[in-house]
Amino acid sequence: MNRLANKFALVTGGTSGIGLATARRFLEEGATVAITGTSEEKLAAARQELGDVRTIHADAGDVAGQAAIADMIRQAWGRLDTLFVNAGVADFRPLEAWDEAGFDRTFAVNVKGPLFLVQALLPLFANPASIVLNGSINARLGKPNSIVYAASKAALISLARTLSGELIGRGVRVNVVSPGPVSTPIYGKLGLSESDLAGMKDYLIGAIPAGRFGESAEIADAVVHLASDESRYTVGSELIIDGGMSNL
């Protein structure tokens, strides 16, 4: 299919997991794609895997870096049709283990960076254009150790609504996908032992009515829908993709 033919699309955090899968689907749907990442090595690997993509080295939590991304998009394409804000950090700690630096880093990457990236890209968005933010069902659940991560994702979900109200007159739709547990490399970054990681996965699977983790490609398919004209009447909405975990 060519649902994104002749579209220019940017995926932040596009070197692995949901971001990489979405960049792949965007390409399959005919888009011209750029991805961001914090590792030159991972960007090179993603470029080799995906083929014809533009790669941008960027820190998702750095405000000046967001302006630099927008400048690169301006120079390369002159406009942007689709933005998928996927870059994020998942830092899980009990309340007593949090410090200011960790809190600030989570909110810088998960909230501040996305806000200022949209601001920097604002003059470049086509009319119509679509922004999709990557939220999380953690914003809806009271899971222990997720206090700061959940709060940051709740803020991002709120941004989908408030940005929609502000940008719809410019022809820019903003929506959010909120995945449940998905098989991505993020779980390997939590610092857990193999046995603790296995135990956590077993616990989560037991809480998912569908009986399994989601796949990155399943989230990517939803992002393609929200990025395309198929969803042109969908504005400020949250699409929950969690195997029934938060609803059943």
Active site residues: 149
Rounded Cα distance between 50 and 45, Å, is 9
Helix axes 17-28, 216-227, angle to 10 degrees: 50
Q: State whether residue 81 is helix, strand or coil.
A: strand
Instruction: Identify the helix (H) or strand (E) that includes residue 127.
Output: strand 125-134
Q: Sheet holding 238-241: strands in order across?
A: 53-57, 32-37, 8-11, 80-85, 125-134, 172-179, 238-241
Under DSSP, the state recorded for 210 is T
- DSSP label at residue 111: I
Q: Are residues 210 and 179 in contact, defined by beta-carbon separation less than 8 angstroms?
A: no
Handedness of CA 139, 143, 146, 148 (dihedral sign): positive
SS3 80: strand
Q: What is the DSSP string of 212-244?
A: S-B-HHHHHHHHHHHHSGGGTT--S-EEEESTT
How many secondary structure helices (H) and strands (E) does the chain include? 8, 7
